Structure 1
Amino acid sequence: MKTSDQLVAYVGTYTNGDSKGIYRFQVDPVSGQVDHVKAVAEIGGPTYLTISQNNDYLYSVAKVGEDGGVAAYSINEEHDLTLINHQVEAGSPPCHVSLDESNKYLFTANYHKGTADAFSINENGQLSKALSTVQHEGNGPNEARQEKAHAHFAGITPDGNFLCVVDLGTDKIAMYKVEEGKLSLHKEITVKPGSGPRHIRFHPNGKTAYVNAELSSEVIVFEYDHDNGNLKEIQVLSTLPENFEEESTGGALHLSGDGRFLYASNRGHDSIALFTIDENTGQITLNSFTSTEGSHPRDFSIDPTGQFIFAANKDSNNIVQFSRNQETGELTKTGIELSIPNPVCVKFLNLN
């Protein structure tokens, strides 16, 4: 496993402006200082990334010519990237990519197509052609955004029992069984009509799940049954201030490593909302809002030590660092900021 005394992060971007692809930076875990900011891969549309557990490989959604798919990269000792291969097909690229715990299978969600795909990965990090594709059908009450299925997240549940696919267009969360890369529908859970579920995160205790609803700017809290894959709604809470009436949509959702705090980004209000998690019930309480000091925070990342949050502001071309009080969860701007065009995803190498 590659290690470093510095925290190493990769940045996915939109490439319809000045960005050429994937960028990298390093963070001193003591001072928080950032350096070695550089472009490390030229590729179209790397808007979401994931990294293998051993830090040897990075996978990115990608656009190659008029085709969309996934790209595989090896990570060398200097943390530069070398393309291994990509698997693409006609049409728009996926919007989300993830790995299973064994790093033998990769999963994507495609917003534009309303599909989820499963790929296998060989011992050299190379991607197979898609082993399985599932097509979602349906729509929701928001005619502008829910005219058809829009799969927005595909990830394995922490217990490894199911692939969870969150669909913004149909207001549904689909649970699939995975058998050697083949997907079969096990269960569908319907959420609040018109809410537009985007991503799901599971509490470290494995009993509670949190979904950010993009269209309604809410967090939906569920009890998770790992035996049958069911999600039982127990709470819905807004991610916006009560008096905020301007346009805003939900962005990203992340939990602190200790499971005590939940963070959600708002695109429009341009903030990160902080929630405290009840250790007994898993329910949440809104604590505060922190401006992301930019426009359209599509995603953000908590570094592996839990000391910092990096907010990626797509429309203002900046990534802003915040220190994180690990006792209260509160965020404080450090004054450190990176200039990267259209940043939308920040992923750190894993610690030892």
Structure 2
Amino acid sequence: MSSSTASQAQPAGHPDGPGARAFIGSFTSAGGRGVIAAAVDPATGALTVLDATDAVPDPSYLALAADGRTVYAVSEREEGAVAAFDLRLAKLGEPVPVGGGSPTHLALADGHLLAANYGSGSVTVLPLHDDGTPGEASCVLHHLGSGPDVSRQEGPHAHQVLPDPSGSRVLSVDLGTDSVRVCTLNTATGTLAVTSEVALRPGSGPRHLAFHPEGSYAYVVNELTPTVTVCRWETATGTLTPLSEVPLVPEGTEGPSYASEAVVARDGSFLWVANRGHDSISVLGLSDGGARAELRTTVPCGGHWPRDLAIDPAGRHLYAANERSGDVTWFDIDPGSGIPQRGGSVEAPAASCVIFG
């Protein structure tokens, strides 16, 4: 493990000390440092890099255990894997193969770690041991289908997997098939079963999904068109129903824009979406309990190619992981307008993900 702070004392915010902390994922193949630990100033949102490890190649997406003691990372390679680290970024055991290619997302659900494998268009379930480390894959669920964009949708590309707010269902978002699959997880066997597949507009390229805090609506970010699809979510039946599609950039905007991630305000008033190419953050107002979304404005993301967005646990600061400019920018959130105001940035080459513990 390499460290950017060689002090023997543990400062406030150190992963083993008091204070808030963040973890940043990055592409080692593009010059990134791997998994980075950073202290968070709760007043300003500023990040200070503390440690980093490149023990696993291309840890592009991270997830934190429910007890806050273990950091999980994908290894986004052709033969994909997941790895576990303690809060000092010491690797816990060896990486575990996911049985799929290029995993891009992780989530935790009822004692299991779930990985979305973009390259192979599949979702993997790995049971967690008592010590928090992942075991061998208990299920690899393969998606089927394609889309009209022959260069991007020649086959399935699972980009995200996550449990619904109740924890009773698992949803997987597939860019290649323009659909979201709703599944149940059998915790006894560690297997997924598809209960429905929800079709979105052909060619839209759904990438990620975020739920409204009240749990009745979800917002699907479309990568191949700069839009977000507002959906109703019925927990009791596990039914996802598309309602409307809302633009993420102003009409007449020139040049390509590829949306990457969505974050919903803690109080459900706003939705923020990162746009690569346009290099912006869209600010959408949410109303009618989350049923309606309206683009209010866009602001610069503070760098180039924002691959991920995250909000701090207090809901006061927004963070953009700007992959191609190699930095993470933080913003103060105006509680009235929802407009992010740039606070500063920290260098993080090939940054791809930010999570908080």
User: How many Å separate the matches in 1 of 2:287 and 2:277?
Assistant: 28
2:84 matches 1:72:
yes
Indicate if the aligned counterparts of 1:73 and 1:85 stay in contact, CA closer than 8 A: no
Distance apart, 1:267 and its partner CA: 0.4
Matched with 1:28 is 41
| Equivalence for 1:224 | 233
| Deviation sequence 1:75-121 (CA, Å, 0-9, x none) | 2xxx4443333211676331111001x4x111111110000011110
Is the 2:97–2:137 Cα contact (8 Å) retained in structure 1? Answer: no
Larger strand share, 1 or 2: 1
- 2:173 counterpart residue number: 166
Matching residue within 145, 155, 160 for 1:148: 155
SS at the partner of 1:31? coil
Report how far residue 122 of structure 1 moved: 1.3
1:264 and 1:289 mapped to 2: Cα distance? 9
Amino acid at match of 2:216: K
Listed as ranges, the gaps of 5+ residues in structure 2 are 1-14
Aligned to 2:71: 58
Q: Tell me the C-alpha RMSD between the 2 structures.
A: 1.7
CA distance in 1, matches of 2:141, 2:46: 44
Structure 1: any 5+ residue segments left out of the alignment?
Answer: none
What code does the residue aligned with 1:159 have? S
CA distance in 2, matches of 1:209, 1:63: 27
Return the offset for 1:32: 3.2
Tell me the alpha carbon deviations over residues 246-266 of structure 1, each in whole angstroms, 9 at most, x when there is no partner. 011111111111111100010
Pick closer, same or farther for the CA change 1:31–1:265 going to 2, 3 Å.
Answer: closer
Query: 2:351: which partner in 1?
Result: 343
Distance across 1 between alignment mates of 2:142 and 2:16: 39
Residue 17 in structure 1 maps to residue 30 in structure 2: yes
SS in 2 for 1:16: helix
Counterpart position of 1:244? 253
Q: 2: CA distance between counterparts of 1:184 and 1:90? A: 17
1:292 shift after superposition: 0.9
Aligned to 2:12: none
| Structure-1 residue corresponding to 2:313 | 304
Q: Distance in 2 between matches of 1:46 and 1:11?
A: 9
Q: What is the rounded CA distance, in whole Å, between the counterparts of 2:99 and 2:19 in structure 1?
A: 39
Deviations 1:325-347 (A, max 9, x none): 1232111111x211111001000
Q: Deviations over 1:262-297 (max 9, x none)?
A: 000100100000111104352111111110121100
- Between the aligned partners of 2:233 and 2:307, the Cα distance in structure 1 is 26
Residue 165 of structure 1 aligns to a residue in which SS? strand
Aligned amino acid, residue 348 of structure 1: F
- Residue 94 of structure 2 corresponds to 85
TM-score, normalised with respect to structure 1:
0.92
Q: Deviations over 1:154-205 (max 9, x none)?
A: 1111111211011100011111111121111111100000000011111111
Partner deviation per Cα, 1:204-246 (whole Å, 9 max, x = no partner) = 1111011001101110001111122211111110111112120
Aligned-pair distance for 1:39? 1.2
Amino acid at match of 2:139: S
| Distance in 2, Cα, partners of 1:255 & 1:326 | 13
Counting aligned pairs with the same residue, the percent is: 31
SS at match of 2:103: coil
User: Could you tell me which amino acid in structure 2 is paired with residue 134 of structure 1?
Assistant: L
Structure 1 distance, partners of 2:153, 2:176, is 4
Quote the Cα distance in structure 2 between the aligned partners of 1:109 and 1:215: 19
1:310 Cα offset (Å): 1.4
The answer to whether the aligner puts 1:44 opposite 2:57 as a matched pair is yes
The residue type paired with residue 155 of structure 1 is: L
Task: Determine the C-alpha separation between the residues in 2 that align with 1:74 and 1:340.
Answer: 20
- Indicate the residue corresponding to 2:11 in structure 1: none
Determine the C-alpha separation between the residues in 1 that align with 2:299 and 2:17.
30
SS of aligned partner of 1:112: coil
